[in-house]
Every structure is written in C-alpha cells, then in structure tokens.
Amino acid sequence: MTTLEAPTRRRTKPKQSLGREDRNPRRWIFTIVIGIIAILINVPLLNAILVSFKPDGEIARNPIGLPQNATLDHYANVLYASGYDFPKFFLNSGMIAVGTVLLVLVIAVPATYAIVRLGFGGRWIIDGASGLRLLPAIFFVVPFFILFSNLGLQDSVPGLILANTFLNLPLAIILLAAGLRDIPKEVEEAASVDGAGVFRTLHSIVLPMLASTIVAVSVLVFIFTWNDYLFALVLSSSNATPVTLGASNFVTSTGIRWGDISAASFLSTIPPLLFAVFAQRYLVSGLSAGAVKG
Amino acid sequence: MLSRKLGAVGALLVSATLLTGCSTGGSTGGDGSGSGTVKMVAWPGPEGDAMKEVVDAYNAGQGKEDDINVELVLLSRQDTFSKETALMSSKSSDVDVYWTASYNVGQFSPSLEPLDDIDTSNYFPVATEGLTYNDKLYALPLDVSNHFLLYRTDLIDGLLNDPAAVEVYKSISADVLGEPREPVDPQSWDLDDYKAMSAYFSKSTNADSPTQYGTILQAKNLLYNTMIWNDVLWGYGGNWAEDGKATIDSDAGKKAVQLYADIYKNKWTSPDSAQAEFPETQAALQSGNVAFAMQWSAAYAALNDPEQSPDIAGKIGIAPVPGGQTHVHALSVSLNKYSKNKAAAKTLLSYLATTEAMTAYAEAGGIPAMPEVLSQNEDLNPAFGRVSESISEYGYSEPVFPKTFQAYSALAEALSGAWVGETPVNDAVKNANEALQELLD
Amino acid sequence: MASTFVRQKKHGASLILSAPLIIFAALFVAYPLVSGTMTAFTSKSLLDPTDTFNGVDNFVSLFTKPAFLNAAGFTLSFAAIVVLCEMVLGFGLALLFDRKFPGKKLFFTLTLLPIMIAPALLGIMFRLLLNEDIGAIPAILQSFGLSVSLFSPSSVVPLLVVLDILQWTPFTFLIIYAGLQSFPKELLEASAVDGATFLRQLWHVVLPVLKPVLFAAFFLRAIDAIRTFDVIYVLTAGGPGTSTTTLSIFIYKVAFEQGDFGKAAAASVVVLICLLPFVPFIVKRIASSGMEGK
C-alpha cells in the first residue's frame, strides 16, 4: 500500500503528555497499574487459554490452576479431529473480513469525500447511515435472507461480504468524515488552483493525508466483521461458514464442550489481534484525526 | 438542492419496491429428478454424530444405487431452530430435509410436506403420533428424549444405611413437610420425598450435609426448562389445558411453582440456578456439589464416564422423575415443502425409516425410536431398556396445538421469575395462564 | 469563489464518487428497509407465511402489553449505565496511558484485546468462567472466603453491567486516547502558568477541547449498547422472567421463537422511529464542521 508512506499529520511537535512529567522510577508505577488493568480485563481470554490445555476431566476439578496434564487434544479437535472443517472456517472468515474491508473502503472513501467536501446530498446521508446502525440487526436479517436467496448469494462468501459491508458502512463513514475535516481545505484549494481535477486532488492529496484514518477504519471493520455472528448464522449454512459459527458447533445437545470451544475462541482472536498489532501506529493516529478542531 | 434529495430518496424507494416484487414470486418446490444431492440439517451432539455415520454409510452404499448423495449441514444446538425459522420464513429451498422435534412440528407444519406414504410401522406408535398434526405425519422420529432423576448412589446409601442419619432426615422432613417421613429409595420418590431430600442434603438446613445443595433446579428462562417443570406440574396431577381452557392457575399449577420457589428460597438449590440449564446441571453434579437432579436422559452417559466426570463416575444412579411423570419428545426429520428435490429426499427418508438404518444409528450412538432395534441392541447401551420403559410407563405429552412451541417459551417467561421467588406465585400463574390461553385460542 | 462551471463539474464528480454508495444503498439498504417496514403491517408468521395486511395490529399489541415497553426500559437504563461507566473509565484509562512508561506498546495491545473476541463466543466463555461449580472466578472468590452468587436475581443485572464494561471500555479508551494524542498541549502549558490544578485543567481545558471526540466515542458506543444481544442472551436468555430482556432479545424471541415476523418488524420500526431524531443532533457534533454549506 503506497498510501502508507503518507506525509505525517500536521501536529508534529515534540510529544508531550497530558499528565505532569514523570521521572523514571515513577513511570514503573504506571506500568504496574496499567498492567493490572490489562490483566483484569483479559481474564476471560486468559481463562479460555488455560482451559484449552486442560483435559475434559480436569476442567471441572481444577478451575484456577495451570493444567496438570496439559493436552493439545482440544486444538487437534478444532483444527482437524472433530470432523468440522475449521481450516475452511478460518479461510472463510479471512476472506469475508478482508473483502468487507476492501468493499467498505471502495464505497465509503469516495462517497464521504463527495459528501463532506463537495457538498453532495448534504448531511442527511451521514445521518441516515448512522441511523441505520441503530436498528437491531435482526430487523434486516430476514429481508437480507430473501434478497440473497433471489440473487443466488445465499451461503456464499460474497454474500457475507455484502452483508457485513452494510453493517460497517456507517462506522466507516462517520470516522472518515471526522478524518476528512481535519485536513485543511487550503491544501486542496491550492491544488485545484494549480489545475488539478477533483479526482487527482483526491488521489494525490487527500488519500495520502487520510491514510492513517483509512488504516484505522480497516482495523475496526476487520474486527467487527470477523466477530459477526447473527448475519453469518442466517446467511450461511455450509459453504461460507465463518469461524464464530463453526466454534458454536461445540455447543452440543449434551452440553458444551468447554475445552474445544475455548481453543476455538482463542485461535479465532489471533488474526484480528495480529492485524491490530501491525496497524497499531496508524490505529491511534488515524482515529485521532478530526478529534480536536484546534 | 431539495429536489435532488427527493430524487435520490425516490430512486431508492422505487428500486426497493421493484425488488420486493421480485421476491414475492416464491417457489412451491418440486419433485426433482429423484436423484442428486439432498441437503439435510442436523445439530451437533450424539444425534448429529450418529446421523453423520448413517449418512456416510448411505452415501457409500445404498446411496450409490439410488444415485443420491446426502450432504449433512451441522448447525449449533442453540441456533438450529432459529436458522430453520429464517429459512422457512422466506420459503427457501436451500435445504431439503429439516431437523425438527415433536414440540415444534406443529408450528413448522405450514412449511413441511406430509410424509404419509412412508412406511412407519417400525416406530413406537406414540413417537409417530407425537409428530402427527391435523391427521398428517410431518416428521420421522429419531431420538427420544425424556427426563430421569440422576442421583448419587453413595450419598443415598449412606443415608439409608445410617440410623442416626435417618433420624436427622425424619426431623428435617417433619419441618419441611409437616410430618416426619422415612427416607426411601429414589426409585419410588414422590415430590414430597424430593423436597425433603433437597432439604436434607443442603448445608442451609442440615449443617452436616455432605453436599452444599440438595439439588439443582434448571430455572433459566428457557423453553427446555418449561419441559422439566412440566414434570412437576403433571406429577401433582396438573396439565396445561382441559377442553381448550388453560389450567396453569389450577391448584396443581400453583403447587408446582411453589415447590420450585420453596427449594430456591431455602437454598436447597444454588442461588445461581436462576440461570441454570443443561450444562450448569452437569457441572453441579460433576463437581459433587449436589446430591441429585432432574435431568435429561442424554446426560447420564457423560456423568458415568471417568474421563469426563472423574469425581463421580460410577456413583450416579438413575430413577424415574419424582412424581412418576416425564415429558417425552422425539427429535425428528422432516421434508421441506419448498424443496426442489422432494423425490430424492423421500427416498432418503424412506431409507431412514428402515430398521437397517436405525440399527446403524443406534450403533453410532443414537437412541432410535424403534422398539425392535432397541430390544435387539440392549448390549450397545443399557439405557435402551430404560427408554422403552419410561416411554410406556412414565411418559406424558403436552397438548399439541399449532403454537405449542411458543407456549413453552411463554410459560418459561411468565414463570421463571416465580421459580426463583422474584414474583408472587399467584401473579405468575395468572400471567402464565393468560399467555397460554391466548396461544390456545 | 467557484464559478458555476466549476460547481457543475464538482457535481458531476460527486455523482461519480458517490455512485458506489448509491448503488449499494439502493440494492442492500433500501430493499431491506422497505421490505422490513412493509412486514411490520402484516400478520406474517411461521404459521401464516402469507403477507396479509393487518394494519396497525402489530403496533397495538406491542403497546398494550408490558413486554415491549419493559424491554425498552431495561435497554435504555442498561445502555445509559454501561456507556456512562465506559466513558468515564475509558477516559481515565486514556489519561493513564497518555505518558511514556515501560511496556506501553505491549499493554496498549493487551488493553484492546477484549474487543477482538466475538461477543457470541465471549458469552459462552463467561458461562464457564463464572460457573459456581467449575468456573475460575467463583473459585478465586471462595479461596478468599467470599461466597457470592453471581447469577442470583439480585446480582445478575450488576454482573451483566460489569461484563459489558469489561468488554467495551477498551473501545471508548481507544477513541479517547487517540483524541488525546492530537490535543494541543500548549493549551495546558498556558493554563499551568495560571497555576490551575490538574482537575481544573481537566474540566476547563481538556474536556471542552475533546468534546467532539467524546461525542464520537459516546455515540458509537451508545448505538451498539442499545443493540446489546449476545452476552446477555447466552447468560440469561432475558430472565429471570423478563427482567434482563433487551430490545434485541425481545425482537429475536418474537421473530425466531414465536415465529411472529410481523410483530418483530413492527418493534424494530418503533425502535428506529424513536431513536432517529437523536441522530442528526449527534452527527452534527462529530462530523459537520468540516462540511461545505450549512
């Protein structure tokens, strides 16, 4: 992505923190406090990781401790032994999430620019888009199902990409609109005086400056799409099953297979996590765009 | 500016309406060529696993002759019926064979094809009757599910064989029931024994109890928990309705709710059982924190398996539900009315109705609803004999009407607050009765 | 000032740039919206799959029985409490993070982890983690001699609030922290000269400037909180009774347990109509000041 080598944002003054300046030993206090918070909020995940290595009999007997007879059975079940095609579920989730990110960007970036900068349609489009997210997703599930059945998109990866695009467009438009207003209009006006058309301005001036917002939007859209459950439940049955739905197969008619579902849950957090780690730099700077109108 | 906006809105509406028009064309399904792929839904668990083996065997053998390939779609247990509801709402032909049960076949029947020309003589008559609605058979039975009292044999024996403990039990039962009782074997408990035993095995009433709580109630707001509570209702001589009039507010109904509330408020079940269902009940028994519980038949095997339940395996006994009444339902398979390949799907269903297919099903871990298969394969699973017995002697069926499925949910919603003492019993049964009456009308 | 010619050229470009959004909206937004709204005026159900018009019957039955209004009441108070807490805690966490300390990068990622777990799977994880017989949290509490019944009727609502806060504070934290990064620190230096205390700085300098960012975090979080479904549905199914039934759970049950699609659609329409008026008000605060015109 060439857009990533974008000029950095305007505020490049030496970074200062809001809190008073701290000397070295005192900084460790923050490490400790924040470390405790980070562990606390991750207790569910840490527990899932522990459980995923415990044999079935030990899960009930040893709720707190480390696994005494650690086993990889649950991971074997998730990856191949259970009869479920988890590699395919992961692949589906990946294709759906990446496809959704791309489609959301293709739709949202030019449109938001037209709305915000060229005054297209006015604010009601943004209002409407945000309003859509207010509706319980259930409202749309059945109409989507009927529509997709007619279009032959039922139980297909492209179908789920379209559905998730629908769910995530509002978020993207809101964040991109906020990012755009942070770019000084004068730069574009200067370009347009130079004779650059709208498309060239968008491509060579606006996109690079908007790059970090775009990355931030991508990360959030990826996470939300990866974690979708309700639309996947209704719109997929076997070919396009994503990993969230595959994992729920461990909720059986004779109870929940705790170890297997823990392993599946843990594995399914890794891809969004990796994406977020690699994009961390842009995540913060992208979301900070438009935050404060100085 | 304004007109441009209106234009855009108009364009959206017009295109949407056009699309709506397209979709109402709808399909009515078709017989198809009699061969090809048949898509069939199942849920994970012993039933789905067994069905998978049957289907694999069919595809490798008989299916080749029939020129039919069966594709099994597994949906999670919690979502199967929601997903099928969505499929049916849009008259989908996506799957050919639906996974159904005797409690929802009535509600699903408008989207199902009657199966009257399939030979069902091998099944328990009661099982096919439960799947018959308006004189038409809408599904073929698979597993039969019912409830048992699962109890700790070591703890009960300890009580029965210890004269000092018997005295304690007598004094506790006198407090709880108003008259002292002798402890008896769980095989012959009535609901009063159940109540007194719950108290005896709870630390809140008996500080020397070997377990924290006597039992665990499945009191979460869930339709499956209504089925278990119904055992108590029927056990007290109650019923949902008589002659089309709801009778939840009868004395039996009030007593049944009161029993749950008494057990809950006296801490003879854990306070957390307000959100308990099948997995929580398993956990409570596995951890050794409770002495007995009313539980689904499918739970027994896991509790006596040393791998899964190291602390209690071998110490779990099985008895009829106290009061001698158990809900019975059958899981089943049905033909989608909008399927485009009905002839092939019927060939498959006819095959599933044979003793040969159901023997394979039993060997793969299912509990088929065929008396002949069960009696011939008792060496496979000792519970097979129990199942036959409970169906013939202790089983009852809730009234079958179009909204039976909704009634289970409505009762759970109206009563679950009172089960845990949050709402007064009389208010709850009154609301439940009104809700049920509305569904009956 | 732009000439008419330029303006027309801009309009043409706007159309082209917005074309993907318009096509997508026509296909995948308008149809479900219209079809869903039409369903609201029919008696469509599993037992009666025809689209028979029944006027406002569905709406009447919603408002003449307590279930829908109770669900709305619970949803609003639940959303208000969790969003308020998540805003305050997210802001506090952002302030804590707004400095250099060892391990910052690692802990930043760890803090964001909870939003990367699919809510549907997280609900199942909680069922194990919090189970009194085999769960880690009750076991830890018991080892301190505390015996707490997390799922008893009196503690289940606070429990659900805490779980939601644990899961979503990272989201408000992310947005607010990003906003803090573009905070013009010279404002602080100026007020520090005045000798303002930290709290007064916070109140008089930081909060006013961060207002748009706080609104964005609030709004994005609030619309999702109003749609809360997965974790509560898995843990309580809306009970005991209907005491924890959110609007999404109500609509889900009406549609998929009762099979009453008409009534479910009607409930969704009511939700949308009640919430829509707030949208322009909020969007104006987030994204409008960079817009052309109005």
**H or E segment and range at residue B334:** strand B326-336
Domain-embedded: residue C255: yes
Specify which of A229-233, B214-218, C227-231, C283-287 reaches the highest per-range mean pLDDT. Answer: B214-218
Instruction: Kindly state whether A137 is in contact with chain C, defined as any CB-CB distance less than 8 angstroms.
Output: yes
| Overall average pLDDT of the B323-339 stretch | 93
**Cβ atoms of A80 and A230 closer than 8 Å:** no
Q: Cβ–Cβ of C239/B417 closer than 8 Å?
A: yes
Q: Cβ–Cβ of C29/B91 closer than 8 Å?
A: no
Interface of A with C in 30-69 (CB under 8 A): 30-31, 33-35, 37-45, 47-48, 50-51, 59-60, 63-64
Helix axis angle, A280-288 to A207-226, nearest 10°: 110
Q: Which of A237, A243, A260, A265 to mutate to test the interface with B (most CBs of B within 10 A)?
A: A237
The residue among A254 and B441 whose pLDDT is bigger is: B441
Q: In the prediction, which pLDDT does B12 show?
A: 47
| Overall average pLDDT of the B172-191 stretch | 95
CATH at C255: 1.10.3720.10
When pLDDT is cut at 50, 70 and 90, the band that residue B91 belongs to is: confident
Please enumerate in sequence order all residues whose Cβ is within 8 A of that of A50, keeping only pairs 6 or more positions apart, or say none: A66, A67, C136
Q: Cβ–Cβ of A177/C290 closer than 8 Å?
A: yes
Q: Cβ–Cβ of B221/C238 closer than 8 Å?
A: yes
**Cβ atoms of B393 and C126 closer than 8 Å:** no
| Overall average pLDDT of the B68-87 stretch | 87
C-alpha triplet B298, B301, B305: angle, nearest 5°:
150
When pLDDT is cut at 50, 70 and 90, the band that residue A9 belongs to is: very low
DSSP state for residue B250 in the 8-state scheme:
S
Instruction: Kindly state whether B86 is in contact with chain C, defined as any CB-CB distance less than 8 angstroms.
Output: yes
Q: Residue C80 belongs to what domain range?
A: 75-287
pLDDT of residue C292 exceeding 50, the answer is no
Could you tell me the two tokens for A156? 């297909």
Terminal-residue alpha carbon distance, chain B: 54
Give the tens place of pLDDT for each residue, A128-185.
776 676 666 767 777 787 778 778 888 899 999 999 998 898 888 888 887 887 777 7
In order of start, what are the domains of chain B with their CATH numbers? 36-146+328-396 (3.40.190.10), 147-327+401-440 (3.40.190.10)
Set of chain A residues whose Cβ sits within 8 Å of the Cβ of B90? 142, 145-146, 149
Q: Which chains touch C (3+ CB pairs under 8 A)?
A: A, B
Q: Cβ–Cβ of A130/C223 closer than 8 Å?
A: yes
Closest-CA residue of chain C to B219: C240
Chain C nearest CA to A104, separation (Å): 9
Residue C109: how many other CB atoms lie within 10 Å: 16
Domain-embedded: residue C1: no
When pLDDT is cut at 50, 70 and 90, the band that residue C247 belongs to is: very high
Domain-embedded: residue C16: no
Compute the distance between CA of residue B189 and CA of residue B194 in angstroms, rounded to an integer. Answer: 6
Instruction: Kindly state whether C51 is in contact with chain B, defined as any CB-CB distance less than 8 angstroms.
Output: yes
pLDDT of residue A23 exceeding 70, the answer is no
When pLDDT is cut at 50, 70 and 90, the band that residue A122 belongs to is: low
Could you tell me the two tokens for B373? 């298969």
Q: In the prediction, which pLDDT does B5 show?
A: 44
Could you tell me the two tokens for A247? 């994992």
Task: Out of C16, C289, C293, name the one closest to residue A293 (CB).
Answer: C289
Q: In the prediction, which pLDDT does A3 show?
A: 37
Task: Out of B45, B83, B299, name the one closest to residue A233 (CB).
Answer: B83
Give the tens place of pLDDT for each residue, A195-215.
777 788 787 888 888 888 899
pLDDT of residue C253 exceeding 70, the answer is yes
Instruction: Kindly state whether B204 is in contact with chain C, defined as any CB-CB distance less than 8 angstroms.
Output: no
| Overall average pLDDT of the B259-266 stretch | 97
Q: Which chains touch B (3+ CB pairs under 8 A)?
A: A, C
CA nearest to C123, candidates A230, A151, B301: A230
Domain-embedded: residue C172: yes
Give me the amino acid identity at A271: P
pLDDT of residue B341 exceeding 80, the answer is yes
Task: Out of C36, C125, C275, name the one closest to residue A143 (CB).
Answer: C36
Q: Cβ–Cβ of A291/C112 closer than 8 Å?
A: no
Interface of C with A in 156-175 (CB under 8 A): 166-167, 169-170, 174-175
- ipTM reported for the complex, 2 dp: 0.85
Instruction: Kindly state whether C284 is in contact with chain A, defined as any CB-CB distance less than 8 angstroms.
Output: yes
Instruction: Kindly state whether B406 is in contact with chain C, defined as any CB-CB distance less than 8 angstroms.
Output: yes
CA nearest to B292, candidates B266, B264, B312: B312
Q: In the prediction, which pLDDT does B111 show?
A: 93
Set of chain A residues whose Cβ sits within 8 Å of the Cβ of C178? 216, 283-288, 291
Set of chain C residues whose Cβ sits within 8 Å of the Cβ of A293? 212, 289
Could you tell me the two tokens for B303? 């509790």
Could you tell me the two tokens for B165? 């403990």
Q: Which chains touch A (3+ CB pairs under 8 A)?
A: B, C
Q: Cβ–Cβ of B23/A150 closer than 8 Å?
A: yes
SS3 B30: coil
Instruction: Kindly state whether C108 is in contact with chain A, defined as any CB-CB distance less than 8 angstroms.
Output: yes
| Overall average pLDDT of the A29-42 stretch | 92
Could you tell me the two tokens for B223? 């339709």
Task: Out of C17, C117, C139, name the one closest to residue A64 (CB).
Answer: C139
Q: In the prediction, which pLDDT does C195 show?
A: 67
Chain B nearest CA to A223, separation (Å): 23
Interface of B with C in 287-306 (CB under 8 A): 287, 289
Set of chain A residues whose Cβ sits within 8 Å of the Cβ of B89? 142, 145
Q: Which of A20, A24, A134 to mutate to test the interface with C (most CBs of C within 10 A)?
A: A134
Set of chain C residues whose Cβ sits within 8 Å of the Cβ of B421? 153
**Cβ atoms of A284 and C203 closer than 8 Å:** no
| Overall average pLDDT of the B237-259 stretch | 95
Instruction: Kindly state whether B270 is in contact with chain C, defined as any CB-CB distance less than 8 angstroms.
Output: yes
Of the CATH numbers 1.10.1670.40, 1.10.3720.10, 2.40.128.30, 3.30.70.600, which one belongs to the domain with range A72-288?
1.10.3720.10
Q: How many domains does chain C have?
A: 1
Give the tens place of pLDDT for each residue, C73-112.
999 999 999 999 999 999 999 999 988 888 888 999 999 9
Instruction: Kindly state whether A142 is in contact with chain B, defined as any CB-CB distance less than 8 angstroms.
Output: yes
Beta bridge partners of B141: B332
**H or E segment and range at residue B296:** strand B292-296
Task: Out of A56, A121, A154, name the one closest to residue B94 (CB).
Answer: A154
DSSP string, chain A: -GGGGPPPPS--SPP--SSPP--HHHHHHHHHHHHHHHHHHTHHHHHHHHHHTS-HHHHHH-SSSPPSS---HHHHIIIIITSS-HHHHHHHHHHHHHHHHHHHHHHHHHHHHHHHTS--S-THHHHHHHHHHHS-THHHHHHHHHHHHHHT-TTSHHHHHHHHHHHHHHHHHHHHHHHHTTS-HHHHHHHHHTT--HHHHIIIIIHHHHHHHHHHHHHHHHHHHHT--HHHHHH-SSTT--HHHHHGGGEETTEE-HHHHHHHHHHHHHHHHHHHHHTHHHHHHHHHTTS---
Q: In the prediction, which pLDDT does C8 show?
A: 63
Q: Cβ–Cβ of B272/C149 closer than 8 Å?
A: yes
When pLDDT is cut at 50, 70 and 90, the band that residue B221 belongs to is: very high
Set of chain C residues whose Cβ sits within 8 Å of the Cβ of B276? 151
Please enumerate in sequence order all residues whose Cβ is within 8 A of that of C158, keeping only pairs 6 or more positions apart, or say none: none
Give the tens place of pLDDT for each residue, B92-143.
888 999 999 989 998 899 999 999 889 999 998 878 888 888 889 999 999 8
Specify which of B75-84, B150-159, C184-193 reaches the highest per-range mean pLDDT. Answer: B150-159
| Overall average pLDDT of the A246-275 stretch | 90
| Overall average pLDDT of the C28-32 stretch | 82
C-alpha triplet C280, C286, C291: angle, nearest 5°:
85
Interface of A with B in 95-124 (CB under 8 A): 121-122, 124
Structural domain spans, chain A: 23-71, 72-288
For chains A and C, CB pairs below 8 A equal 367
Instruction: Kindly state whether B403 is in contact with chain C, defined as any CB-CB distance less than 8 angstroms.
Output: yes
C-alpha triplet A160, C43, A136: angle, nearest 5°:
35
3-state secondary structure chain C: CCCHHHHHHHHHHHHHHHHHHHHHHHHHHHHHHHHHHHHCCECCECCCCCCCECCCHHHHHHHHCHHHHHHHHHHHHHHHHHHHHHHHHHHHHHHHHCCCCCCHHHHHHHHHHHHHCCHHHHHHHHHHHCCCCCCHHHHHHHHCCCCCCCCCCCCHHHHHHHHHHHHHHHHHHHHHHHHHHCCCCHHHHHHHHCCCCHHHHHHHHHHHHHHHHHHHHHHHHHHHHHCCCHHHHHHHCCCCCCCCCCHHHHHHHHHHHCCEHHHHHHHHHHHHHHHCCHHHHHHHHHHCCCCCCC
Please enumerate in sequence order all residues whose Cβ is within 8 A of that of B441, keeping only pairs 6 or more positions apart, or say none: none
Domain-embedded: residue C57: no
Q: Report how far Cα B183 is from the mean position of its chain's Cα atoms.
A: 31
Set of chain C residues whose Cβ sits within 8 Å of the Cβ of A177? 286-287, 290
Chain A nearest CA to C60, separation (Å): 19
**Cβ atoms of A171 and A224 closer than 8 Å:** yes
When pLDDT is cut at 50, 70 and 90, the band that residue C259 belongs to is: confident
Closest-CA residue of chain C to A164: C28
Task: Out of A155, A233, A253, name the one closest to residue B45 (CB).
Answer: A253
Instruction: Kindly state whether A64 is in contact with chain B, defined as any CB-CB distance less than 8 angstroms.
Output: no
Q: Is the dihedral of CA B97, B102, B108, B110 positive or negative?
A: positive
Q: Cβ–Cβ of C239/B409 closer than 8 Å?
A: no
Q: Cβ–Cβ of C44/B110 closer than 8 Å?
A: no
pLDDT of residue A30 exceeding 80, the answer is yes
Compute the distance between CA of residue B293 and CA of residue B278 in angstroms, rounded to an integer. Answer: 11
Please enumerate in sequence order all residues whose Cβ is within 8 A of that of C86, keeping only pairs 6 or more positions apart, or say none: C164, C165, C168, C169, C171, C172, C221
Set of chain A residues whose Cβ sits within 8 Å of the Cβ of B78? 248, 251
When pLDDT is cut at 50, 70 and 90, the band that residue B396 belongs to is: confident
Set of chain B residues whose Cβ sits within 8 Å of the Cβ of A150? 19, 22-23
